[in-house]
Structure 1
Amino acid sequence: MFQNLDIFQMASGLAKHASSRQEVIAKNIANADTPEYRAQDIASFQETYQGAQSQSSMKASRAGHLSGATPENTFITQIDAADPSSPNGNTVALETEMMKATEVRHQHDLAMSVYKSSMNILRTSLGR
Structure 2
Amino acid sequence: MPAIMRLAAGSAKQAAARQAVISGNVANADTPGFRALDLAPFSPDDDFGLRRTHPGHFAGREGRTEAFELQDVAADPNGNTVDLEDQVLRGIDAARQHDRALTVYRSALGMMRAGLGRS
TM over 0.5: yes
Structure 2 unmatched runs, 5+: none
Which amino acid is the alignment partner of residue 10 of structure 1?
Answer: L
Structure 2 counterpart of 1:21: 18
Letter of the 1:13 partner, please give it.
Answer: G
Q: Cα distance, 1:84 vs. partner?
A: 1.4
**Partner Cα distance (2:105, 2:62) in 1:** 19
Using the TM superposition, name which of 82-91 and 16-25 deviates more: 82-91
Counterpart for residue 67 of structure 2: 78
Aligned-pair Cα RMSD in Å: 2.3
Q: CA deviation at 1:28?
A: 0.1
Instruction: Give the equivalent residue in structure 2 for 1:43.
Output: 40
CA distance in 1, matches of 2:62, 2:13: 10
Equivalent pairs counted in the alignment come to 114
How many Å separate the matches in 1 of 2:110 and 2:47? 27
Per-residue deviation, 1:31: 0.2
2: CA distance between counterparts of 1:94 and 1:102? 12
Tell me which moved more, 78-87 or 27-36: 78-87
> Whole-Å Cα distance in 2 between the matches of residues 102 and 84 of structure 1?
21
TM-score (norm 2): 0.85
Q: How does 1:1-128 map to 2 (within 5 A)?
A: 2=1, 5-46=2-43, 49-53=44-48, 55-56=49-50, 68=57, 73-74=63-64, 76-82=65-71, 83-128=73-118
Equivalent-residue separation in structure 2 for 1:31 and 1:16 (angstroms)? 23
CA distance in structure 2 between the aligned counterparts of 1:31 and 1:12, rounded to whole angstroms: 29
